[in-house]
Amino acid sequence: MPYRVESVPFESRGAEHYRCQPFGQVPWITDGDLTVFESGAALLHVAERSEQLLPRDRRARADVAQWVFAALNSVEAASLPWFVLKFAGDGEETAERKAIASFLTSRLTHMEDVLSGRDWLTPRFSAADIAMADVLRLIDRFDGLASYPACKAYVTRAVERPAFRTAYEDQMAHFARGGEGG
């Protein structure tokens, strides 16, 4: 599927940006005359074009959709406060930070159980794995999967896929050019 990576200013986001993404965030995608914001919505929009990513069968489709939402609402929601503290270098031990870590541990323990003994969330690789692997990849960035070998192996499988490598390399090349060019 052809695509183009584009950048937007980090500051000074104008009216056009807010027209595409009402919260002034990224990402969003433009597909012809259609703009779709929020990563999960954009992922499902793209997945509509591939039966591999989003099966036509009603049950299989529901299985993929629920795992996409689980990645974004159950695992990412638990990981985001932890990730922000790690990214900021804030390692102070407080009751609040322990609660954040405990919440993430609970989610990762469940994901470890789910991923033990299987390659993907559904019987074959799907949009669900794109979402979940991306969420878990950010946790792994700060060694958060060290005690979760099935989660870590899952992320490794996902990022070793040729499609992931191509998209990642395209994005890094775009940034290396200073965010210019497609």
Is the pLDDT at 31 greater than 60? The verdict is yes
Is the pLDDT at 182 greater than 70? The verdict is no
Residue 150: Cβ-neighbour burial (10 angstroms; 0-12, 13-18, 19+): middle
Is the pLDDT at 10 greater than 60? The verdict is yes
* Amino acid type, 177: R
Residue 179, pLDDT score: 65
Residue 125, pLDDT score: 97
- CATH (residue range 58-163): 1.20.1050.10
Q: What is the mean pLDDT of the chain?
A: 90
Residue 176, pLDDT score: 85
Residue 121, pLDDT score: 98
Is the pLDDT at 26 greater than 70? The verdict is yes
d(CA 117, CA 86): 30
The model carries a pTM of 0.89
Residue 180, pLDDT score: 59
The residue to which tokens 């009751």 are assigned: 95
| pLDDT tens digit sequence for 111-167 | 999 999 999 999 999 999 999 999 999 999 999 999 999 999 999 999 999 998 988
Residue 56, pLDDT score: 96
Domain range annotation of the chain: 58-163
Q: What is the band of 92 on the pLDDT scale with cuts at 50, 70, 90? A: confident
d(CA 11, CA 151): 35
